[in-house]
Amino acid sequence: MRSGKTYALIHILLAAVVTAVAGEFKITPFSGEVFRIGLGSSAFLLFLLLMRQLPYVYTGIVTGVTVLVFRTAIGGFSDYDTFSLFASLKTHLPAAIYYIVFAVGMKLLQGRLPDRHPLLLALCVSLTDFVSNEIELFARSMLFDIAYLYKGQLLWIGAASVVRSLFVVGLFSSIVISRMRAVHNEQQKRMEQMLNVGSGLYGEVFYLKKSMDTMEKLTAKSYELYRRLSAAAEKDVSRSVLEMTQQIHEVKKDCQRILSGLLKLYNRETTSDMTLAEIVDFVLHSNAGYSKMLMKEIHFEKKIDTNYSTAHYMPLLTVLNNLVSNAVEAIESAGTVRILVYEKEGETVLIVSDTGTGIAEENKEVIFEPGFTTKFNEEGSAATGIGLSHVRDIVQASGGKLSLRCSGHSEETTFVVAFSTHTLTIGA
């Protein structure tokens, strides 16, 4: 609580000092130095607009006093021989009154500032500025017993108020828009990170569920073997089989705990739908960064002939992202990756093609087999991606089809994924 008050006090003092200094850049539209139009009021207005949490009236009082002291001090230094403290305070007191009155006027608008249109806000601020200037002139006329109205006064004050307000409100709107863009970019970056994590988790969850199904079948078969061996009086062997069955069951329980944790991280129900165009854009943007990391010059192309929202975007993201990243890895140094999306005979077709090294003829028949890979690092270790076999399994689990349309060392490698449009649009 105390730190918040200190923070606010620092901002108030900063606004007061900056306003006092900016006020020295001025013009005097009327005779002598009795009235000035300076940048101080513009700086003060900008502070009030940017720091709506400040107590406006208190800020106006502090700023008015600071301006009074600052201008009096300058007068003392510049005219040391003829300087009169009382005369200087009397001269600059109306300026202090201006900032206090202006702050009171802005206080009336404070709670509604975010909801006002910029032009309406500029009009309200212009009116506040005009009234504050007129009160300053009236106070000056009372203190110095001089004429209140000058030739062209209303025109000068009105024009200055409008121009100054439009300029400051325009500057304020630009700052607000820049802030909104920065927030949007940050939110977009976080969303991309979440989608990347979600896409990866979807593949891991799918693979873990598949492994658990396999373990369930192994447990059942192992236990059946144990019963048969027990019936055949093979006690030693049956006991070993039973221990293996129990161990497989324990591994499955561990996998269940891991799966439970992953499902807490990956919760599709908490996310909104995505359109096919958004999915493709995300995949291309993500892999554009991946290609730069690999120091490859890859041109990405897309053609989207059908577009709709789907709640089942995570499998699409997972499949497309893996196919495109495989395409990026297949290109040696420079090439092109294309994505085509269209609808045909009740199916949504997604095609990923690349101008990479292609797939050898002898590998076409086994490319979707579990464990198959053509990617090895310099030490001879295989790639750790989920592989085309798992991509195919994810597609099939969603009721889709994955195929290799054509491949050769002199042709583009093209993968075709087809999903039922009805399935993808359910719940969209």
Instruction: Give residue 376's pLDDT.
Output: 47
Here the tokens at position 272 are 């909104």
Fold topology of 274-425: Heat Shock Protein 90 (3.30.565)
Nearest to 400 by CA among 325, 350, 341, 365: 350
E strands present in 346-411: 347-354, 401-406
CA distance linking residue 53 with residue 55, whole number of Å: 7
For the chain, count helices (H), then strands (E).
11, 9
* Encoded amino acid at 407, one letter: S
pLDDT single digits (tens) 26-66:
666 555 444 556 788 889 999 988 888 889 999 999 999 99
Q: What is the pTM of this model?
A: 0.55
DSSP for 206-258, please give it. HHHHHHHHHHHHHHHHHHHHHHHHHHTT-HHHHHHHHHHHHHHHHHHHHHHHH
Query: 150 to each of 31, 137, 154, how far by Cα in Å?
Result: 9, 10, 8
pLDDT single digits (tens) 228-279:
888 777 777 877 877 887 787 777 777 777 777 766 665 544 456 788 998 8
Structural domain spans, the chain: 2-151, 196-270, 274-425
Given a cut of 70, is residue 21 above it in pLDDT?
yes
Nearest to 71 by CA among 98, 49, 51: 98
Instruction: Give residue 3's pLDDT.
Output: 66
CA 47 remoteness from chain centre? 26
Instruction: Give residue 428's pLDDT.
Output: 47
Confidence band (pLDDT; 50, 70, 90) for 406?
A: low
CB atoms within 10 A of CB 342: 13
CA distance linking residue 341 with residue 326, whole number of Å: 18
Looking at mean pLDDT, say which of 7-11, 110-114, 155-159, 270-274 comes out highest.
Answer: 7-11
Nearest to 242 by CA among 260, 258, 230, 257: 230
Order of strands, sheet of 413-420, starting from the edge strand that comes earlier in the sequence: 297-304, 334-344, 347-354, 413-420, 401-406
Nearest to 156 by CA among 35, 335, 16: 35
Q: Is the dihedral of CA 80, 84, 90, 93 positive or negative?
A: positive
